[in-house]
Structure 1
Amino acid sequence: MLAPESPPIVTQQKTRHCKPVARGGARAGRKPAKIRDSGRVQLFGLHAVEAALANEKRPVYAIQATENAAHRLGPLTARRGLEPKRVLPKALDRQLGADTVHQGVLLEVGPLESLTLEELDLSGTLLVLDQVTDPHNVGAALRSAAAFGAKGLVMTQRHSPPLSGVLAKSASGALDLVPIAQVRNLAEAMAELGEQGVTRLGL
């Protein structure tokens, strides 16, 4: 169950005849904004790390893993040209905190590039989040979106959590599976989607 923050909005395409969407959810004539954080991110948990390694668009830099985790991830790390640094679980506890469920692996990655509305596939269902700030809730929403075959998730640039390790762990790999668009103004983005023939449903 998601915490009772602003409810998500589910959208569905009702026509395939679409005109181009202004980038970033902005009106025509406004300069689009593509968001990409330059900082590195630490991902942990087997599903989150497996999905990140399998995502060719995700920059990966270094990995620490226990013997068991390194063995499980071997084909993926080899394909990405990574050699896991073998560590004991306590070493990861010290880095991430004793209460973190890291499952014996820590992957250092670059951030994902935020897409624009124009780059999302409007042929199916999109999930739109309005000021959902808890990373666990956004992660759960991404997990559900992936399970139901959603074509993407739309969220605001502000009043949304960073796409960090906590969110990725909660998403159980879906962070690297579901395309995400971050927009400046959600009301304008929803209006743009409506102009493209997208049916908008508020929950």
Structure 2
Amino acid sequence: MNIILQCEVQYTQILKRYFNTYFQNITYIQYNNHLVNAIFIKQIRSIQDIKEMETLSFYHLDFIFLIENGEYMFELLEYNPLTFVRLSHIEKDIIHLIEILQYKERGLGTILNFKSGYQTIRINSQRIEYIESYGHYVFIHTESATFKVREKLSQILRKLKPLGFIQIHKSYIINKAYIQKKTSTYVYMNSHTCLPIGQKYKSQLK
């Protein structure tokens, strides 16, 4: 696996420590004008960093962006990143990143594509806690962010049902792995979100 790191020294050291622990076949390569297939990890600190992406987008690269919280996230979605690493939650998000890279390395198809306007968002299915339908939109709630997409809930259920997801209400699909507890009328998720159970969907939770 080829990795290009373009970030501050302190973050480079943290990333390398994790990568060298979890992966055996890693080659760190330098950024140049003749890029091969690689994973490009870039720290975004300003609009200028985003402008530099216009050139990089022509290469066969998978992007991962280091950002301050959610800053510039919307603008960066255009480049279909594998994920974002928030500097304020760097250790937690790197663990998420490692899982994505492990799936990618093994060729497992758990990274799903969702349409958001004219863009495509790629999300690891295991990071999705629940999906909510509201009006003409669907909101995908993950551990670290919420994404608004314009797809039918039924279409999303077809993608997710084989991966351990169930529908509990006309407006909600949940990841069974995130259930904390349940009653006859509500499901409590690990994030402490309380979701209603529709009468016709109660059999899904038995």
TM-score (norm 1): 0.27
Structure number with greater CO (CA < 8 Å, separation at least 6) is: 1
Bigger strand fraction? 2
TM-score (norm 2): 0.26
